[in-house]
Structure 1
Amino acid sequence: MDLSEIWAHIKDGFWSLSDALGLQWAPRDLPMARRLQTLGAIGWISLVLFGEAFAIYLFFKLVYSDYWWLATVYAVWMLRDNDTPARGGRTFEWVRNWAWWRYYRDYFPLKLVKTAELDPSRNYLLACFPHGVVCTGAFGAFATNALDWYKIFPGMSCNMITLGGHFLVPFFRDLILALGACTSSRESLLYLLDKKKHKGNCVALIVGGAAEALDSHPGEYSVILSRRKGFIRIAMMSGAPLVPVFSFGEPDVFRPLNNPQDSWLRWFQESVRRWTGISPMFPVGRGVFQYNFGVVPLRAPVTTVVGTPMEVQKNPDPTDEEVDAVHAEFTQRLVALFDAEKHKYLKNAENTHLIIT
C-alpha cells in the first residue's frame, strides 16, 4: 500500500468519524472577510477568558529575565498609578479604533441604536442589561468605537465600568484603561458623573453583574434588578439622568451549561462568585474550524438599544424610600423599553418576556 492509499484511508476514517459525531465543519472556501471576522471574535474571547492569566505570565517572565529591572520600574509606576481607574481612567482613542474591533463587530454583527438624544452639556448613567455571558454587545458599543459611538452621540464620551480587581493585573489593566474602563467603586462613579470638570460623560454600568451571567441562556431574558439599588443612589447623589440600555440577542451568543438553582454546578458557580466577584462560566459556542462546540461565540446578532433618559433630582443623601421610588420608576421604563423594541430584534417576540429578579 503506497502513501496515497494510506492517506485516502485516513481521510475516509476521519470523515466517517465526523459524520458519526455529527460534526459540521466550516467550508474551506470562505471569503477572507469572514475569516477575519472569525479571527476578531477568537481574539476577543481569548482576551476575555485568558487575557489576565497571560498578562500575569508575561510579567513574571519579565521578572525572571535579564530585564527584571523593567518589571521593577513597571511595578513602581503601577503602584503610583493606582488611583487612575477611580479618577476618570486613561482612554486612548487609538486603541478604541483598532481594526480588530471592527472585525469583532461584523462577526455577529453588533449594532448600536439611539432612541433619544443625549445632551453633551450633561452627564448620564447608562444602566445596561442583560450581562449575558461576557457582555458582548455592551463591550462593542461602549468600550470601542467600532459601533460609531461618537457619531451616534456627538459630543459624548463613554466609560465602561468593570470590577476593580481587573486593574490589579499588570499590562492587562493598561489595555482596559485605554479602552475607557473605570472601576466600579462609588468614588469612581461619582467622579465621572459629578466631580469631573469635563461634561458629556456617559458611564456604562452592567447592573446585573457577574451574578446575572449565571442566568444567561439562549432565548431567555432574565435580569437582576430588584435587589440592585446602588446605581439608583449614585444617580441621585450626582443628579445624573438614568438611561435604560438593553442588548437584544445577548443571551444567544453562547450556549452555557444547564445550571438550575438546585444543581451542583450552580452551587460551585455561586461559591466562586462570592469569593472572587467573578462567575466561573463555561461558555459553549463553536470551534475555530467546526460549528458544534468550542469557546468561540456564535454568529448571533446583538443590537444594543439606548433608551430615553430618565430625569433624577439631585439628592446628596437620599433615604431608602426615595431610592425605592426612583428604582420603581426606572424598572417600569426598562420594561417599557424592552416591550417597545423587542419586536424589531427578536424572532419570537410575542412569547418573549422580560423576567426581573
Structure 2
Amino acid sequence: MMDFGEIWAHIKDGLGTISDALGVQWAPYNVPMARRLQTLGAVGWISLILLGEPFSIYLYIKLLYSDYWWLAVMYAVWMLRDIDTPSRGGRRFEFVRNWSWWRFYRDYFPLKLVKTADLDPSKNYLFACFPHGLVCAGAFGAFATNALDFYKIFPGMKCNMMTLGAHFLVPLFRDLILALGGCPASRESILYLLDAKKNKGNCVTLIVGGAAEALDAHPGEYNVILSRRKGFVRIAMTSGAPLVPVFSFGEPDVFRPLNNPRDSLLRRFQEKFREWTGVSPIFPIGRGVFQYSYGLVPLRAPVTTVVGAPMEVQRNLDPTDAEVDAVHAQFTKRLVNLFESEKYKYLKDAEKVHLVIT
C-alpha cells in the first residue's frame, strides 16, 4: 500500500503531464506574501475595468427588487439631480485615490511616473497621453490614483482623467469613477476644467487615441492614432492651456491580444462594435492567479509614464483649420521627440522600436 508521499508524487506527475500538454506554467507555491498582494491588486484592478459596470448594474437591480427598493429609488432620484456633476469638475475623494489597493497594483508591474519639466501651479494643462494600450494601465495608475505620487512630483497640481461619458450613466459605478477624479471626455467637461477663471493647477488627462487605438495594441509595437485626432488641439487653443505630451513606455506589453489584422473578420467585428457602442471589444490574454500561461490578469511588464515639457498654446477662441493644423503638427513633432529621446531608457532593443502614427 502506497503512503501519502508516493500518492502525492503520482498526483504531481499526473498534473505535470497535463500541464505540459496544455502548455501551462504553474506559479511556485512559495511566492512571497508581498508578491501575492501585488497579484491581488492587479486582479482587483482588471476586475474593475472589465466587470465593474455589469456588476454595478447587477447590484442595483438586486437592490431595486429587494425589501430595500426604496433605497434604489432614492438613489435614482439623487443620480438624476447629480447628472451634470461629472461635466462640472467632477467629485473626487482623495481617500479613494489613496487606497492601499492602488499601491499593490502599482508594484505589480511596476508602474512609474517620470517628469521632464516642472509645471506652473497657476496654470492649467492638457495632458495628451499615448498609447492607449488595451486598458491604460500606466495612465490609470499615474493619474487616477495617488499611488505614483503625482502630487509630490508636480507640487500644487491635481489631475483628472477623462473617460467615456457613458460610464457616468451607470449607477454606483459612476460614483467610484468620480471619486477617482474621472470626468467625461467631452468638450464641455474639458473646457470647464481648463477654465483659468474657475480653476488653477488642473492637469486634464486625455487618452487621445481612445478606444480605436486599443485595437492596435500589440506587445513591442507602438502604434498611435494622432493624424486624424485634432479636437484636443482645438480645445487647447480655445482655452489657452499648454499641451503636454505624455507617453507610457511598456503599455503594449501588459497583455497579449488576439491576432486581429485589419482585414480579418475579428477586426471588422471589433470596429463595427466600437462604432455602435463607443467601446472596443478587447480580448486580453494575460496570466492566471496561480499560473503564468493563460488568464485575464495582466503580465508583470514595467510601464513608465513620462510627462514631457509643456508646449505653450496661444489662446484663440475660434481657430481656423489651418491654425489648428499648425499647432497639431508642432505637437506631433514634440511627441515624436519625446518618444525618441526617452525610449532608450525604458525599452529593450530601443533602436528597433519606432513610433507609428496613423
CA contact (8 A) 2:124 2:199 kept: no
Partner of 1:197: 198
Equivalent position of 1:61 in the other structure: 62
Relative to the length of structure 2, the TM-score reads 0.98
**Conserved in 2, the CA contact under 8 Å of 1:88 and 1:196?**
no
**Aligned-partner SS, 1:293:** coil
CA distance in 2, matches of 1:305, 1:9: 51
**Would the aligned equivalents of 1:210 and 1:279 in 2 still touch at CA under 8 Å?**
yes
- Aligned with 1:112: secondary structure? strand
* 2:112 equivalent to 1:102: no
Name the residue aligned to 2:278: 277
Deviation at 1:196, TM superposition (A): 5.8
Shift of 1:119: 0.2
Corresponding position of 1:231: 232
Question: What is the deviation of 1:7?
Answer: 5.9
Instruction: Say if 2:33 is the partner of 1:32.
Output: yes
Runs of at least 5 residues in structure 1 that lack an aligned partner in the other structure: none
Amino acid at match of 2:259: N
Paired with 2:160 and 2:185, the residues of 1 have a C-alpha distance of 11
TM-score where L is the length of structure 1:
0.98
Percent of aligned pairs with the same residue? 79
Q: Within 1, Cα distance between the matches of 2:18 and 2:149?
A: 45
- Distance across 2 between alignment mates of 1:291 and 1:142: 28
Does the aligned pair in 1 maintain the 2:124–2:196 contact within 8 Å? no
Match of residue 112 from structure 2: 111
Q: 1:11 Cα deviation (Å)?
A: 3.7
**Superposition pairs of residues 91-170 of structure 1, within 5 angstroms:** 91-170=92-171
1:13, CA displacement in angstroms? Answer: 1.8
Counterparts of 1:18-29 in structure 2 under 5 Å?
18-29=19-30
The CA distance in 1 between the partners of 2:14 and 2:341, in whole Å, is: 53
- How many residues align? The count is 357
Cα deviation code 1:226-270 (max 9, x no counterpart): 000000000000000000000000000000001000000000100
Amino acid at match of 2:346: Y
Letter in 1 for 2:146: N
Does the Cα contact within 8 Å between 2:123 and 2:196 map onto a contact in 1? no
- Given that 1:116 and 1:307 are in contact with CA atoms closer than 8 Å, whether structure 2 keeps it comes out as yes
What do the CA deviations read for 1:73-104 (whole angstroms, capped 9, x no partner)? 00000010000110000000000000000000
Q: How does 1:319-334 map to 2 (within 5 A)?
A: 319-334=320-335
Query: Which digits, 9 at most, give the CA deviation of each residue in 1:85-144, with x for residues without a partner?
Result: 100000000000000000000000000000000000000000000000000000000000
Aligned Cα root-mean-square deviation (Å): 1.2
Q: Which residue of 1 aligns with 2:42?
A: 41
Given that 1:254 and 1:285 are in contact with CA atoms closer than 8 Å, whether structure 2 keeps it comes out as: yes
Q: How far is 1:12 from its partner?
A: 2.9
Structure 2 CA distance for aligned equivalents of residues 6 and 223 of structure 1: 54
CA distance in 2, matches of 1:3, 1:165: 60
Query: Cα distance, 1:16 vs. partner?
Result: 1.4
SS in 1 for 2:356: strand
What does residue 71 of structure 2 align with? 70
The secondary structure found in structure 1 opposite 2:134 is coil
SS at match of 1:280: coil
SS of match in other structure, 1:309: coil
Secondary structure, counterpart of 1:271 in structure 2: helix
C-alpha contact 2:27 2:291 (8 A) present in aligned 1: yes
**Is the 2:116–2:308 contact (alpha carbons within 8 Å) kept by the matching residues of 1?**
yes
- 1:301-355 Cα offsets, whole Å, 9 max, x none, are 0000000000000001111110000000000000000000000000010010100
Q: 1: CA distance between counterparts of 2:266 and 2:3?
A: 48
Query: Which amino acid is 2:272 matched to?
Result: S
Q: Closer, same or farther in 2 for the Cα pair 1:196/1:138, shift >3 Å? A: farther
